[in-house]
Amino acid sequence: MTTNEPVALSFRDNVDLMVDHAIRIMGLEEGMGNALKACNTVLQVSFPVEIDGKPEMFTGWRAVHSDHRLPSKGGIRYAPEVNQEEVEALAALMTYKCAIVDVPYGGSKGGLCIDPRKYTRSQLESITRRFARELANKGFLSPAKNVPAPDMGTGQREMGWMADTYRQLFPDDINYIGCVTGKPVGYGGVRGRNEATGRGVQYAMREYFRHFDVVKEAGLTPGLGGKRIIIQGLGNVGYHAALFLSTEDNCLITAVIERDGALINPDGLNIHDVHEHMIEHGGVKGFPGAKYVEDGASVLEHDCDILIPAALEGVIHGDNAEGIKAKLVVEAANGPITYEADAILQKRGVEIIPDAYCNAGGVIVSYFEWIRNLAHVRFGRIEKRFHETRGAHIISAIELATNTPVPDWVRKEIVRGADEFDLVRSGLDDTMRLAFQEMVEVRRTNHQVRDLRMAAYVIAIEKISRSYLDIGY
């Protein structure tokens, strides 16, 4: 039977179309373009785990899009709708993301087809440990070659189980703890990793608002403070981004869109309270002090200054892109805007901070965690006391020279040596700022590049193709 229904593009098609566009702008030869886009390897595993006394089958994937740098890096997602194409698209995004923010990794991604909410903690532990064994035995989990991290549906707990499974399999590997990142701090994790992606989104937005000309061109008023924000998804990324933006930058989170509907409050929602409510009740419905709307997706089109999709891919598409009111869309999730919607938003002058840059905070801090694991020492451990003593000497010298006591708050700031949290946040902030400046510069100087997404891809493709030319494919 034939039909005239348009064929919906997959997530992978959408990513490839955006990359093709960048390749055309750069005039890259076809062979190089194909080498860049190809996904090197995909592993599919199916395995049984005993659930309530009966074997149940699970299927998962780990895709390695590139290994021009090793290890290849990328999260593992637990979701019922996960599939090979999605994992391949996410692995490709990881390649570009790492290149944009100068993290020396190849791109990879994993997924397990499962609804984690349907299983107990101990069942999830058995499933995760078995999945980790499958990956490790086939060379897809290792501190040298392939290092997973959390993504949708996974977190510190799952990463801890994976690291421990790897340790049991390879007890002679002195760097075993670096086989995954995003682990609990007590088990090889780094302080600041859990919040890193949301924190990176905040740093990206702060940097955006430091560029007055760019802000003005998008039709926004200067300053992040007071901006009305709608956020979709209050999970790891969305919760931290919304919490920091509302409590540290005075933004108003006027709507939160979740799985079971949306909450609206023009005066701004208390994100901590909404999150507590979600933990207690499993959704946003019933939260006091806000209007509840059952059709959450419709709220994407409500009036606001900034829209932050932080849940899943393809939520802004050909059918709703015309209705988006935000002047700035911040892609905290991976692939929330389809290729078609991207073109519509561009035409309407809506600025987009692209996913490949915007949510790179996770991999940046994962990189710090991996370095910490290979060095076997916590950041700041060696030099903290030295800096504190030096700070105290500087204060004494100032007081001696001026004959005036230094105010307590200044003393505290100067004397305090940086701990791991400070160093991680500082490294993250610096990386996000530099990468944004690079994107703005490319858009300013290359007249074929009109938007930040193309700027990000041009930067990434230039770096990756250079490395292919240097060392071969």
Q: Which residue ranges make up the site for ligand NAD (CB under 6 A)?
A: 75, 150-153, 197, 232-238, 257-259, 296, 310-312, 332-334, 359, 362
Q: Which residues contact 347 (CB under 8 A, 6 or more apart)?
A: none
CB 460 within 8 A of CB 95: yes
Distance between CA atoms of 234 and 249, rounded to whole angstroms?
Answer: 18
Q: Cα–Cα distances in Å, from 28 out to 15, 20, 40, 455, 466? A: 17, 10, 20, 15, 11
Closest approach, Cβ 195 to ligand NAD, in A, equals: 9
Closest approach, Cβ 355 to ligand NAD, in A, equals: 7
Nearest in space to 86 (alpha carbons), one of 103, 65, 115: 65
CA 429 to chain centre: 14
Distance between CA atoms of 136 and 127, rounded to whole angstroms?
Answer: 14
In this complex, which beta carbon is closest to ligand NAD, that of residue 153 or of residue 192? 153
Closest approach, Cβ 336 to ligand NAD, in A, equals: 7
In this complex, which beta carbon is closest to ligand NAD, that of residue 64 or of residue 230? 230
* DSSP-based three-state secondary structure for 73: strand
When CB distances to ligand NAD are compared, the closest residue is 235
Q: Rounded to a whole number, what is the distance in angstroms from the first to the last CA of the chain?
A: 43
Helix or strand (DSSP H, E) at 183:
none
In this complex, which beta carbon is closest to ligand NAD, that of residue 78 or of residue 208? 78
CB 230 within 8 A of CB 302: yes
Catalytic residues, by residue number, are 109
Burial of 118 (0-12, 13-18, 19+ CB in 10 A): exposed
Closest approach, Cβ 425 to ligand NAD, in A, equals: 15
Closest approach, Cβ 148 to ligand NAD, in A, equals: 11
Closest approach, Cβ 24 to ligand NAD, in A, equals: 27
Closest approach, Cβ 211 to ligand NAD, in A, equals: 23
Distance between CA atoms of 84 and 63, rounded to whole angstroms?
Answer: 8
In this complex, which beta carbon is closest to ligand NAD, that of residue 295 or of residue 470? 295
Helix or strand (DSSP H, E) at 5:
none
Q: Cα–Cα distances in Å, from 358 out to 151, 217, 386, 453? A: 15, 20, 35, 10
In this complex, which beta carbon is closest to ligand NAD, that of residue 23 or of residue 308? 308
Distance between CA atoms of 384 and 419, rounded to whole angstroms?
Answer: 7
CB 352 within 8 A of CB 376: no
In this complex, which beta carbon is closest to ligand NAD, that of residue 373 or of residue 465? 373
Nearest in space to 365 (alpha carbons), one of 120, 117, 156: 156
Distance between CA atoms of 290 and 263, rounded to whole angstroms?
Answer: 6
Closest approach, Cβ 104 to ligand NAD, in A, equals: 18
